[in-house]
Chain A
Amino acid sequence: MTDATELRRRTQELLAAYPPASTDRLDFLRARFDAGLAWVHYPEGLGGLGAPRSLQAVVDAELEAAGAPDNDPRRIGIGLGMAAPTILRYGTEEQKQRYLRPLWVGEEVWCQLFSEPGAGSDLAALGTRAVREGDDWIVNGQKVWTSSAHLARWAILIARTDPDVPKHQGITYFLCDMTDPGVEVRPLRQITGEAEFNEVFLTDVRIPDARRLGEVGDGWRVAQTTLNNERVAIGGMRLPREGGMIGPVSKTWRERPELRTHDLHQRLLKLWVEAEVARLTGERLRQQLVAGQPGPEGAGMKLAFARLNQEISGLEVELLGEEGLLYDDWTMRRPELVDFTGRDAGYRYLRSKGNSIEGGTSEILLNIVAERVLGLPAEPRTDKDVAWKDLAR
């Protein structure tokens, strides 16, 4: 049993063997991975020690105190949060050995090739085709809303391998090499002016069968692991009081009394209360997880987070009055990081519109809560027993 004391001892050993001050950043991170201190709940040999997930905090605290470099998790969020748990669960031993270490260290950035122009909420209707040719698969299609595609070395990809069966049954999950000559990444400019996302065109992309994850036709089940982790990642950040979107508007309110009106005051206080309660709810969820009592509450966190971000940033633009008519910069850029609270109020207002769309729309999440938590009847399905090729489109 690996307990906190043991983890502290191992962390100190790592720090002694690779002093952060005199060790190359990547060398240190590789050594940390090899010592099983990357994600302690992963198996031995894959960056972990099979320890309880809650003990990661012990390692992180020791390393932070010693000034050790981290793997810049915000830059590699899709790899850490979505690709890794899926590879861990469904990958072959060889795949786990090949991909997890450079993923965690950050040498190889990952992106997600899931959504398509014709398959958003109904992701299982996707039409990107993968056709078997010898030991390879030849992939053709178009993906969209792909963060980090311009930085990524690898992608998790779902594609249709059998159009003659109902849509959920004919999907297969692949690991796609983004340097393949058939992969074309084009920036997709958003309402903020930035191109945080991309569209990705796949033309005769060749993927060896060894880079298939899970069985042929089992891709939908494999993708559930990815999608469940995405929702946790988006809704589950830990915040201090006024730590989220409510922080900047509260600061403006305090510093600029000339902007205050009675109407704005009532609305601000109401949102302040809701933001604080949402923070407590997130904290309660974390306490449940640590205590080993995971509840269904997580399903709803992203819903609340999206609505609050939108309402608060909308209020902030209005509070600013004349300044609310301005915008800091419309220049088309391709940022490396997704930043919800950065830049000015206008940016926050526009960026937060994506919060109720990305990672499952709020409407779909409400269906999920209604059906899986409250046990209400599922939506009537007209597509269940129809071959994918015969679906309306």
Chain B
Amino acid sequence: MTDLLYSEEEEALRAAVRDLLTDHCDAPGVIARSESDTPHDLQLWKLLTDGMGLAGLLVPEDRGGQGATHREVAVVLEELGRAVAPVPYLTSAVVATEALLACDGSGELLTRLASGRTIGALAVPLHLAPGAAFPVVRLEDGVLHGELTGIADASAADVLLVPADDGGLYAVQADAVTVAPQVSLDLTRPVGRVVLQGAAGHRVGEAEPAVRRALRAAAGLLASEQLGLADWSLTETVRYLKERKQFNRPVGGFQALKHRLAQQWLEIVHLRAAARGAADALATGEDVDVSVAVAQAYAAPVAVRTAEEALQLHGGIGMTWEHPAHLYLKRAKADSIAYGTAGAHRAALAELVDLQAP
């Protein structure tokens, strides 16, 4: 039976990550950084990885990791979502790491990713769903040529994992390619363009299974990040509406608003079960495809709706650049496209549970 709870160890991990984020990742800092030349907070990344070993959770101990599971990773992602932390955790410690775990030739690169001292990015556009076809670059005379867009956290990566037209997945050093940041809707997880002009790469394995595995884990665990986003949005909105007074009463006392907030709470309760279901399925390997598709088909609209409601219910202040509500809205909206839209996951379910299209 699927274990949908949090263990004591998982709660302890959550508390440690939350403490660290409270001290080192406040909203004004995230807003200020988002428009700077270094949108990623690499100091925070060092604390999370060097300090706490979180980049290696999915990597076995004999390869330099922590030998934990997707359940613990999900808890970390909830907290990173709650803080919209601008660190390449999902892209490096989950997506690139999962891709390497599917490859025979990942060697010590996996160990370096597990330490967090090397940041990896899978060079597959962020919007693609687990089963989707993905673009490849040209392998010519042993070097790689081509251009890829929509690569999440590309500007933070030290190594890019690039699928090529021979079916292989290649590890390419970031300094061998040109990475041009794209102006992104979500400034805390920016996308970039990667241009390869005769870049040297090291073949680590087959691209197809690696990409499929990486995107499936990403889609399933993204639901936990979305849970964190939604949970912050509701908690902060409820707190504000208890304080904010208009018409000589707290705004949170008006029934029209109370009902909306109660509905959001109910959706988040459901999202938590869906996200835990997906994390547990990824950890045990049972019922993975359905659990991931269900979680992602459910999570994206809930996270977006909660962030949109947070903005609306904050009124004028919610529309300002200085208030953090927009960080959550932008991340939630970008997440609703990342690793496949809700519609793409429903389409996958139609096949998986035999509810065929007309």
Residues of A within 8 A of B (CB): 250, 253-254, 257, 260-262, 265-266, 268-270, 272-274, 276-278, 280-281, 283-284, 287-288, 291, 293, 297, 300, 303-304, 363, 366-367, 369-371, 373-380
Contact = CB atoms under 8 A, between A and B. Distances in A.
Contacts of B357: 260, 262, 265
B354 interface: yes
A370 B270 contact: no
A363 B270 CA distance: 19
B32 interface: no
Interface string B106-121: 0000000000000000
Nearest to A268: B355
Contacts of A270: 297, 346
A376 B355 contact: no
Given A284-B272, A376-B242, A376-B252, A273 B346 contact: yes
Contacts of B298: 273-274, 277
A273 B272 CA distance: 14
Interface stretch (B45-53, B70-78, B257-265): B257-265
14 contacts: A257-B356, A265-B355, A265-B358, A274-B298, A277-B271, A280-B4, A280-B294, A283-B2, A367-B262, A369-B265, A371-B258, A373-B265, A375-B242, A376-B261
B259 A370 contact: yes
A374 B266 contact: no
B358 A261 contact: yes
Contacts of B347: 269
Given A297-B269, A374-B258, 11 more contacts: A254-B356, A265-B358, A270-B297, A274-B298, A281-B270, A293-B5, A300-B262, A300-B269, A304-B270, A377-B242, A379-B253
Contact of B263 (A257, A366, A373): A366
Contacts of B269: 281, 297, 300
Q: Which 5 A/B pairs are nearest by Cβ-Cβ distance?
A: A377-B253, A370-B258, A260-B358, A284-B4, A369-B262
A366 B294 contact: no
Contacts of A375: 238, 242
Interface string B228-260: 000000000010011000000110110100110
A370 B262 contact: yes
B4 A377 contact: no
Nearest to B358: A260
Most chain A beta-carbon contacts within 10 A, residue among B241, B242, B255: B255
A227 B350 CA distance: 40
A254 B355 contact: yes
Contact of A266 (B252, B263, B346): B346
A379 B5 contact: no
Contact of B253 (A278, A300, A376): A376
What is the interface of chain A mostly: helix, strand, loop, or mixed?
helix
Nearest to B346: A269
B55 interface: no
A257 B358 contact: yes
Interface stretch (B131-139, B170-178, B273-281): B273-281
B17 interface: no
Contact of A288 (B5, B255, B270, B355): B5
A276 B297 CA distance: 11
B273 A281 contact: yes
A220 B277 CA distance: 40
Given A250-B355, A273-B298, A369-B266, A283 B4 contact: yes
B353 interface: yes
Nearest to B269: A297
A174 B278 CA distance: 49
Contacts of B265: 300, 369, 373-374
B358 A376 contact: no
B349 interface: yes
B224 to A, nearest CB: 14
B26 interface: no
